[in-house]
Structure 1
Amino acid sequence: MRPISKAAVLALGLLGTGRGFKATILADTNRDGRVDVTGDTDMADKQIWTDTRGALFLANIGDTQQRCSVHITESVSDHDLDKCHDASDNVQRNAKYLAPLKSVPCSGLSSAATGRLFVSGLGAADRVRIFRKFHNGWVYVASDYVFSARDLEAGLDLGIDGRDVRRPGVWDGRVKVHLVIRDGAEIAMDAVALRVAPVLTHHHLQLASQVLVTGAGTRSPQAKFVQDLQANVKKAGIEWPVYQFPGDDIWTQDFFEPGYMSIPGPHGAIMLRVMIRSSQGGRPTGRMVFSMLRSDTVGAVQFLGNDWGDTTDSMGNLETIPPHTHNGKSYPAGRTIVGSRNGLRPYMTNFLNAQEVQATVNVDTGFLLIGHVDEFLQFLPAKNARGWVMMVNDPMAGFEILQKTKAAGLGAIKALSRPSFPSDKSQCLPSDTVDEVLRRGDRTVNFANAQAYSALRIQANVDIIKRETGLEDADIIRVPTLFYTESFECSCNGEDDDGDEDNGGTLVVKDIVEAAGPRSKTRTPRRRKLQDALFTAFYPGSINGVVLSDTQVLAPNPWGPVVNGKDIIAEAVAAAYRKVGYTVIFQEDWFSHHVDQGDVHCGTNTIRNPTTPWW
């Protein structure tokens, strides 16, 4: 579509308004899913796009019949990965994602009258397509397309879609479509403003419809993890089977984030799912969102940094606060929340904020070894006035559980109750007692101080979220947990075994910076100041789980000390979730994920169903 400059628009306007006829082009300006050509509901302020009024359209970036995906090989560069999709040429393959444009029938024209369409807006001409509807399909309206007098008298039935999404410094998604009618010396013109819909991330008020995971490959612990996950997901009532990616990158949460775009339609919202690749250019598993997940209902985007990226650029460091209103500002699609280290925000934040809907909340994850927000917080649907609560880790509560166990004279019992499974093979389990855990500190940092310091840093982030959202203490549920500079260790045949290897295979480790090769099995403990230490979940972190429904959470099994036949940490976790009406389904992940500083949420992903309009 050929652009038209602002000067040209003004020049056309000076030529006249067509005393005998009038040009009127309309879109769904009032966002009711229809274009009103007989009334005036879409007329007011139609040339001005605002957050609350103005027509929307979709980037038609799916891949119908995987026309593009089948050609993605290792030789296709990242730069070219997203160049082919349903809207990358001028053929309309997926008309259900066209947004309507119509012209009001124009009378009083001579047979010589003609009409043309132009677009204006920085960067818009190369990123939008306009089509004309015929009885047998849609025809692309090129820059030299001419409408006849008969076409104009009948009224134009058009559709618009995008070739791309909103991108920082490239295109803000805005476009004006101009209709110019000429009849002899007379000219009439009109315009309507539109904007491509934002790419949004899911929040947990949108219920899960499918769970995704990386398949077992050659790794026995992952095979058990996948098998258990399939059973637990089915138990939760999710009908779609668990989707399994190939390969060895078991951190399925981290290499992409499921999202969506939606606009009003005549029968409800029209939605295109959009998979957002992590900005880690050195993480090839992210390419699978283009080669494996795209379809006629699913698109994919990427916003890559200039290097490999840090662990904080993983998508496990991106969560979404559910919808809320605070300080007079409404966030009907919620807000993204990310963690930063030393003031450096994830690169993806630039893309997220360019969507201008889910203004990012930034918290400090600099005290964590991995540095992801999903390590210490989680949002749940709830039957309260707000409609949701925040679950947050409470290290001091976890520490108190162990202290009470010791005080009861049970300090000699095993701190870790996990049994051996056949899938463990040669890997060993720690044999620490509760007393030994509480005495930790002679090697690195004092165990008690580690809990107090972690709690302090977590509370500082809670205070940020409270300021940003208006969240009150009554809507915050504390979940007992424990942090330390390392998880349990065990010794097999005199050698440390951290689970990095399984039957000769090497795990893909959590930190993307370390993902270029296997982690060294030699660790040199050293005493550190608290402010220099980086912490990780000591027991499997229950908050790092999957919200399966509005009553069920899938959480990693902590395998805490067993007293009177019950895991006292698992009991405390379940009690915290019961406060808001949730049942916890515990999932084993010790050797599959936990020994490499991740848990159930890190190793899975979810597709969710948006239910309420964001506009």
Structure 2
Amino acid sequence: MRLHTRGILLTGAVTVGALWSALPAAAAAAPVAALVGDQPGEAGPDLLFLPNIDDDAGVCRERARALVEGAVDRESANDEAFWEKRAELEKEPDREKAEAEWAELVRTHRWEQNKTDRDLAACDDAADDVVNGGDDEADLGRFRTRAWAGAPASASGRLTVPAQDAGRIRLFVHRPDGSAPRGWEAIGPETRLTAQELRRGVELGVEGRDVVRDTARWDGRTRVTLTVTADGASSSAVLTLRQAPVLTQLNTASVQEVLRAGTDEGDTYAQAFVKELDAALPAGGVRRPSRALDTKGDTWAQDAFEPGYVSVPGRNGRPHGMRVLITSVNDDRRIATRTAFTELAGHDVAAVHIGHVPDVDENSSYDSMGNLETVPPSPGNPHGRVVIGGDGLAPGPSGPAPEMLAFLRAQGMQDPVSLDTSWLTIGHVDEFVQFLPAPGSRLGRRAVVADPQAGLALLREVRAKGHGADPLHGGLPELEWPYDGRIDQRSVDAFLADAQFTGTNERAAERIDADLAVLKAKTGLTGAEIVRVPALFTARSLDYAMLETEIRGMQDGPEKDAKQRQLEAMRDAVAEIPGTANGLVLNGGHYVAPKPYGPVVDGKDVFAEAVTAAFRGTGYQVSYVDDLISAHVGEGEIHCATNTLRDVFGPAARWWRER
């Protein structure tokens, strides 16, 4: 059998003559049992098709909003029942029984609370068997039967897919004179191609009904079999298909839109942050102000979802596809993630919910999407590699959810790399590393990395210049309660004399260097491609503050002493000065960093000066935005508080060229 893809000849397993050897001579000469793909030859031997999970029909958004609104009371009641049951289990004398019931309660509760998320994800263009307009039609993978002009009146054709794939894809036949919308009729078990259709050739379409989630269940490959019967004889032809993988977007792609959480009326700090952020965007080629999302009070837009995309060869030579927003499985982000369905999903934008059965003791922070970044392409990794923080990529409480890892690995293009982020209080990779486009460089990008040793060195220089008695945080605005207590206002000398502070930074530096060694080994990064920016970390996190408050309320004695030793032993890190590696990469060599509020010497912030110089060395200009109260005191920065939609359908979207 010979298959044609835009004039490129592909060879199947058998020839037309062999297929039709049992037919009468007149029939045997005709290439009748053939399926022909309709994609450029660069696509390879498979017909590539999309998971058709966007909402070109425009029917899901209002439904999503109603589902979310209707879930509030039910989920609140579920939470109340959950905590009541936990209180009961705490009184259970049989601890083994109580722990088993607690584990089951956690899993059951999460499943119940995610019912709305499953319902949200169930609405998309592939949820019905109708082609919902021209945009939906454009998302079909198209192929056809080759015309058999001499088909006898008895001829008929049947199209089938493997039984296990019947629920994964849907086939359509184009019958312009039929009653189906736009002439596309869903193919069912009883559908037959008529002799007349076989004579002229028939156009067919295919859509995926979901993304590939786990290769143990499905790897995205399937096949369509055309069986033609005429005058009592039958033969078949097969066309192999592959569903497009979901790829995460790259920081090196141009920004099209900046997203953020909405601000509450009267929140002057958040409103001031937005005003400064929006003022910085035009210089970086972003003409529209940042877009506010209704995240229901969740500040961290980055953590709610990771933007990705799917693409196939388009008829105009450009990739055709849709964005795919991969929502977080962190239950703390559950409400915020729903904005992907209620405000963003629609025409050429899909959202995906990945179900997760939680481990009782898991660190759910590892499942926030600020803990997922993508290293741009390098030799051997033409589509880049996903980077995830945790304590290894083994399933369980020490790393990301196994369902998320299975999903990422199932795409087969951006094999995840594990970085150790267990040394951080929050534990996200964006707290210390991200990537800049660097046109003309060896890899076309550089890594921006927080450098606590450089931060300590700056403090020692400040002290050597006679400014050790000055506050570490210079130029602070007037701080109201409780922020005056959240910003450590000790002097440079006091910080340098604090063994917990210096120890935290020395430990952070060691762990960052170890993570860089992993990136160098697995992504081709070299020292020449690393932009080190001075940083300072502290163990005085919100967890530290809560433990300190608890200790203050305790009576003197061994228990209080033990708690005090626990407090002094803390070394897990969070940014002391706003972390400039945790910023926003814009277009044309522009970067938005949080204002560091470092020591001021001769009227200049020494950290801002050093950061600006580090970026200037790689051709970047830095704009500083004050996120001290809007984000930093909540243990995040500008990158955490924003998200971006980038140009994902340029040349880099042609994943099929290198696979």
- TM-score class, shorter-chain normalisation, is 0.7 to 0.9
Q: How far, CA to CA, are the matches of 1:111 and 1:374 in structure 2?
A: 66
Task: Tell me the residue number matched to 1:151.
Answer: 197
Q: How far, CA to CA, are the matches of 1:92 and 1:485 in structure 2?
A: 56
Q: How far, CA to CA, are the matches of 1:108 and 1:519 in structure 2?
A: 83
Task: Tell me the residue number matched to 1:419.
Answer: 476
**What are the superposed Cα offsets for residues 419-472 of structure 1, whole Å, 9 maximum, x if unpaired?**
3269x687435432211221223xxx2x22222211111111100111112221
Structure 1 residue 107 displacement after superposition: 3.0
Which deviates more from structure 2 when the two are superposed, residues 278-287 or residues 568-577?
Answer: 278-287
2:434 aligned residue (378, 381, 385): 378
1:127 aligned residue (147, 162, 168): 168
Q: What does 1:460-479 correspond to in 2, within 5 Å?
A: 460-479=514-533
Task: Tell me the residue number matched to 2:422.
Answer: 366
In structure 2, the CA distance between the partners of 1:451 and 1:53, relative to structure 1 (3 Å rule), is: farther
Q: Secondary structure at the match of 1:350?
A: helix
Task: Tell me the residue number matched to 2:291.
Answer: 243
Q: How far, CA to CA, are the matches of 2:126 and 2:229 in structure 1?
A: 30
Asked if the contact 1:317/1:374 (under 8 Å) is kept, the reply is: yes
2:50 aligned residue (54, 58, 69): 58
Q: Secondary structure at the match of 2:337?
A: helix
Q: Give TM-score scaled by structure 1 length.
A: 0.84
Structure 1 residue 106 displacement after superposition: 1.6
Q: What does 1:180-191 correspond to in 2, within 5 Å?
A: 180-191=227-238
In structure 2, the CA distance between the partners of 1:121 and 1:240, relative to structure 1 (3 Å rule), is: farther
Q: How far, CA to CA, are the matches of 2:519 and 2:568 in structure 1?
A: 24
Q: What does 1:445-594 correspond to in 2, within 5 Å?
A: 445=500, 447-486=501-540, 522=549, 524=551, 526-527=564-565, 533-594=571-632
Structure 1 residue 550 displacement after superposition: 4.1
Task: Tell me the residue number matched to 2:61.
Answer: 69
Q: Secondary structure at the match of 1:291?
A: helix
Q: 2:269 is matched by which residue type in structure 1?
A: P
Q: 1:23 is matched by which residue type in structure 2?
A: A
In structure 2, the CA distance between the partners of 1:389 and 1:529, relative to structure 1 (3 Å rule), is: farther
**What are the superposed Cα offsets for residues 343-378 of structure 1, whole Å, 9 maximum, x if unpaired?**
533112221111111101111111110001101111
Which deviates more from structure 2 when the two are superposed, residues 221-230 or residues 554-563?
Answer: 221-230
In structure 2, the CA distance between the partners of 1:394 and 1:18, relative to structure 1 (3 Å rule), is: farther
Task: Tell me the residue number matched to 1:401.
Answer: 458
Q: What does 1:39-58 correspond to in 2, within 5 Å?
A: 53-58=45-50
**What are the superposed Cα offsets for residues 240-287 of structure 1, whole Å, 9 maximum, x if unpaired?**
432111221001100111111001112110020111110124522112
Structure 1 residue 564 displacement after superposition: 1.3
Q: How far, CA to CA, are the matches of 1:362 and 1:483 in structure 2?
A: 22
Q: 1:555 is matched by which residue type in structure 2?
A: A
Indicate yes or no: 2:155 matched with 1:113.
yes
Structure 1 residue 55 displacement after superposition: 2.2
Q: 1:522 is matched by which residue type in structure 2?
A: T
Q: How far, CA to CA, are the matches of 2:58 and 2:550 in structure 1?
A: 46
Q: Secondary structure at the match of 1:84?
A: coil
2:387 aligned residue (333, 337, 343): 337
Aligned-pair Cα RMSD in Å: 2.6
Which deviates more from structure 2 when the two are superposed, residues 282-291 or residues 197-206?
Answer: 282-291
Indicate yes or no: 2:498 matched with 1:440.
yes
Structure 1 residue 484 displacement after superposition: 1.5
Q: How far, CA to CA, are the matches of 1:530 and 1:55 in structure 2?
A: 61
Structure 1 residue 154 displacement after superposition: 1.0
Q: How far, CA to CA, are the matches of 1:519 and 1:452 in structure 2?
A: 24
Q: How far, CA to CA, are the matches of 2:400 and 2:576 in structure 1?
A: 25
2:120 aligned residue (58, 81, 90): 81
Task: Tell me the residue number matched to 2:302.
Answer: 253
Q: 1:251 is matched by which residue type in structure 2?
A: W
Which deviates more from structure 2 when the two are superposed, residues 304-313 or residues 251-260?
Answer: 304-313
Q: Secondary structure at the match of 1:203?
A: coil
Percent of matched pairs sharing the same residue: 36
**What are the superposed Cα offsets for residues 526-579 of structure 1, whole Å, 9 maximum, x if unpaired?**
446999621111100000011112401111110111111211001111111112
**What are the superposed Cα offsets for residues 85-119 of structure 1, whole Å, 9 maximum, x if unpaired?**
11101011111111111111123210121111101
Q: 1:253 is matched by which residue type in structure 2?
A: Q
Asked if the contact 1:30/1:53 (under 8 Å) is kept, the reply is: no
Task: Tell me the residue number matched to 2:110.
Answer: none
Task: Tell me the residue number matched to 1:198.
Answer: 245
Asked if the contact 1:450/1:530 (under 8 Å) is kept, the reply is: no
Corresponding residue pairs, total: 549
In structure 2, the CA distance between the partners of 1:547 and 1:99, relative to structure 1 (3 Å rule), is: same
Q: 2:351 is matched by which residue type in structure 1?
A: A
Asked if the contact 2:57/2:125 (under 8 Å) is kept, the reply is: no
Asked if the contact 1:274/1:298 (under 8 Å) is kept, the reply is: yes
Structure 1 residue 609 displacement after superposition: 0.9
Asked if the contact 2:548/2:567 (under 8 Å) is kept, the reply is: no
Name structure 2 gaps, 5 residues minimum.
1-13, 72-115, 177-181, 552-562
Structure 1 residue 69 displacement after superposition: 2.3
Q: 1:467 is matched by which residue type in structure 2?
A: A
Structure with greater proportional helix content: 2
Q: 2:203 is matched by which residue type in structure 1?
A: D
Task: Tell me the residue number matched to 1:431.
Answer: 489
Q: 1:287 is matched by which residue type in structure 2?
A: R
Indicate yes or no: 2:280 matched with 1:232.
yes
Task: Tell me the residue number matched to 2:645.
Answer: 607
Q: 2:50 is matched by which residue type in structure 1?
A: L
Task: Tell me the residue number matched to 1:166.
Answer: 212
Q: How far, CA to CA, are the matches of 1:111 and 1:79 in structure 2?
A: 48
Q: How far, CA to CA, are the matches of 2:550 and 2:273 in structure 1?
A: 27
Q: How far, CA to CA, are the matches of 1:108 and 1:450 in structure 2?
A: 81
Asked if the contact 1:319/1:336 (under 8 Å) is kept, the reply is: yes
Q: How far, CA to CA, are the matches of 1:473 and 1:55 in structure 2?
A: 42
Q: 1:87 is matched by which residue type in structure 2?
A: A
Q: Secondary structure at the match of 1:522?
A: helix
Q: Secondary structure at the match of 1:209?
A: strand
Q: How far, CA to CA, are the matches of 1:364 and 1:293 in structure 2?
A: 32
Indicate yes or no: 2:396 matched with 1:350.
no
Task: Tell me the residue number matched to 2:312.
Answer: 263
Which deviates more from structure 2 when the two are superposed, residues 160-169 or residues 23-32?
Answer: 23-32
Task: Tell me the residue number matched to 1:46.
Answer: none
Q: How far, CA to CA, are the matches of 2:189 and 2:518 in structure 1?
A: 50
**What are the superposed Cα offsets for residues 474-508 of structure 1, whole Å, 9 maximum, x if unpaired?**
11121111112126xxxxxxxxxx8xxxxxxxxxx
Task: Tell me the residue number matched to 1:304.
Answer: 355
Task: Tell me the residue number matched to 1:43.
Answer: none
Q: Give TM-score scaled by structure 2 length.
A: 0.79
Q: What does 1:199-214 correspond to in 2, within 5 Å?
A: 199-214=246-261
Q: Secondary structure at the match of 1:574?
A: helix
Structure 1 residue 23 displacement after superposition: 0.5
Asked if the contact 2:483/2:633 (under 8 Å) is kept, the reply is: no
Asked if the contact 2:19/2:235 (under 8 Å) is kept, the reply is: no
Which deviates more from structure 2 when the two are superposed, residues 204-213 or residues 303-312?
Answer: 303-312
Q: 2:375 is matched by which residue type in structure 1?
A: I
In structure 2, the CA distance between the partners of 1:238 and 1:406, relative to structure 1 (3 Å rule), is: same
